Amino acid sequence: MEAILSAHNNAMPAKDVLDALADKFSESPNRKGKITVQMKQVWNWFQNKRYAIRAKSSKTPAKLNITPMPRVDLAPGRIMAQPTASPIPAPSASGRMLLLGA
């Protein structure tokens, strides 16, 4: 089956090819008296094999030749103060917020 997959450039073979393979496997001497192989089982094998080939080819990319860049501090020793948020006014006893300056 791997040869058939290679002959189709890793594309799914036609339904008639899958049917013929299922029939061929079902009629083989080693399968006598066993459950017949369904076309869907052969189709699943091809799908799984195609997926494995794609995963393997995308998992092993060529090693990238990257050199680290040196870090350059533009202003060494200069620390900027971070702005702080003003506090939120507490609610009054009635549940409404007090507005300052109103």
Q: How far apart are CA 50 and CA 10, in angstroms?
A: 6
The answer to whether residue 101 is domain-embedded is no
79 occurs within a structural domain: no
pTM score, two decimals? 0.51
Would you state the pLDDT for residue 55?
Answer: 85
Counted domains in the chain: 1
pLDDT over 90 percentage in the chain: 22
Task: Find the domain containing 46 and state its range.
Answer: 2-59
Pick the more confident residue, 55 or 76. 55
12 close to 40: Cβ distance less than 8 angstroms: no
What the block records as the tokens of 32 is 């006598």
Beta carbons of 25 and 31 less than 8 angstroms apart: yes
pLDDT number for residue 42? 92
- Residues 56-84 have pLDDT tens digits of 887 655 565 666 667 666 666 666 667 77
- The answer to whether 1 touches 21, Cβ cutoff 8 Å, is yes
